[in-house]
Amino acid sequence: MKKLLIYGAAGYTGRMAAENAKTAGIDFIIAGRDETRLAKLASGLGVEHLVFNLDSPAIVDTALASAFVVLNCAGPFKLTAEPLMTAAIRTRTHYLDVAAELDGYLLAQTLDTKAKAEGVMLLPGSGGSVAMLGSLASLAASAIPHPQKISIALRVSGSMSRGSAMSAESMGIETLTRMDGLLSERSTADLRDFDFGAGPVSCFPVTLPDLVTIWHSTQIPNIETFVHVSADSFPTGDLANLPDGPDAQEREANRYQAAVEVKGEDGTVSRAILDTVNGYTFTALASVEAARRVLDGDVLAGFHTPVEVFGAHFAETIGNTRITVS
């Protein structure tokens, strides 16, 4: 039988993903390193659980051999993406994750040929900004001929989860953009205004994995990524003392928006705005929906993006996401 294995299921996003998988009627196993928390969650969901770390390739291979798809929810992904991606290729298990760190996407690019040879799909970013912004960029780009530049921004509100804060802390300080198809450094002082639907706000440049994924799905040579973060989103103090993440009430009160501007070769401009549920809610929903579709046979071997596999409207199938192109 085709099964989904959710690694990092005892964490904040992993737990929500597991609950969504149960609601969706998916046959799945939860896994991770914390026996106590996994056993409690497994008991509540009525599913099997596996306890293993990622130090031994043989142990990881044995665990993944029982699954058709693995969904990696365990950050920081710089520590988990490589052992799980390479094990997925060895065991011919399709790989999904919810990472926001660039390195995992660059890794997937380098593993593309090996994955294709084994018929394995590598789909990092099956939820989160990659799924959101990928749909937004593709729909805006399709509205004009010969698009040459994408400027895209994410508006984040509400507090971060502990895992997101740790991942953000582990990310490099280099700020990148894509110019003429190549990644290059840019100044963090290059602020830009974006209108998310309620008037322009200032956004700062940031290195998002969409510099890789939007390029991969559109081949548009110039891409710049920005973010506007509400002041109360930045954690303070010892990250280990942070709560797991925002509760359901806070997520409900803090929706996410994104805006994009696409310029064509002839100077034509297309703009679009996305409005969706809170990013953590979206990520848990989108990653499980992606896993469900892969279990149903939506598979392309090698490194791909959600837009390439599921189409440009994928984000609009999650929650009550709305994209408006002008």
The reported pLDDT for the residue numbered 41 is: 98
The reported pLDDT for the residue numbered 163 is: 66
Q: What is the pLDDT of residues 312-325, one digit of tens each?
A: 999 999 999 999 99
pLDDT greater at residue 166 or residue 94: 94
Residue of 184, 189, 206 lying closest to 101 (CA atoms): 206
Cα dihedral value 223, 228, 233, 239, nearest 10: 30
Mean predicted confidence (pLDDT) in 22-50: 98
Percent share of the chain, pLDDT over 70: 92
Residue range 4-127+283-310 forms a domain whose CATH class is: alpha beta
The reported pLDDT for the residue numbered 172 is: 55
The reported pLDDT for the residue numbered 169 is: 56
Mean predicted confidence (pLDDT) in 268-288: 97
Sign of the C-alpha dihedral, residues 154, 260, 76, 26? positive
The reported pLDDT for the residue numbered 88 is: 98
Percent share of the chain, pLDDT over 90: 87
Partners of 273 in the β-ladder: 259, 324
Per-residue confidence at 238, pLDDT binned at 50, 70, 90? low
For the chain, the structural domain boundaries read 4-127+283-310, 129-278+314-325
The reported pLDDT for the residue numbered 221 is: 98
pLDDT greater at residue 105 or residue 237: 105
Residue of 297, 300, 321 lying closest to 2 (CA atoms): 297
Q: How far apart are alpha carbons 179 and 127 in whole angstroms?
A: 26
DSSP calls for 13-79:
HHHHHHHHHHHTT--EEEEES-HHHHHHHHHHHT-EEEE--SS-HHHHHHHHTT-SEEEE--S-HHH
How far does CA 15 lie from the centroid of its chain?
A: 16
Q: How far apart are alpha carbons 326 and 107 in whole angstroms?
A: 35
Q: What CATH architecture is 129-278+314-325?
A: 2-Layer Sandwich (3.30)
DSSP state for residue 181 in the 8-state scheme: T
Is the model's pLDDT at 233 over the cut of 80? Answer: no
What average pLDDT does the chain have?
94
Structure tokens at 160: 């971060």
Is the model's pLDDT at 156 over the cut of 60? Answer: yes
Model confidence, pTM:
0.94
Q: Considering only 72-81, 83-92, 225-234, 283-292, which range has the smallest mean pLDDT?
A: 225-234
The reported pLDDT for the residue numbered 228 is: 94
Spell out the SS3 assignment of 250-319: HHHHCCEEEEEEEEECCCCEEEEEEEECCHHHHHHHHHHHHHHHHHCCCCCCEECCHHHHHCCCHHHHCC
Is the model's pLDDT at 239 over the cut of 80? Answer: no
Instruction: Report whether 279 contacts 308 (CB < 8 A).
Output: no
Q: How far apart are alpha carbons 317 and 126 in whole angstroms?
A: 13
Is the model's pLDDT at 170 over the cut of 60? Answer: no
Q: What is the pLDDT of residues 172-226, one digit of tens each?
A: 568 999 999 999 999 999 999 999 999 999 999 999 999 999 999 999 999 999 9
To the nearest 10 degrees (0 to 180), the angle between helices 57-64 and 77-91 is: 60
The reported pLDDT for the residue numbered 226 is: 97
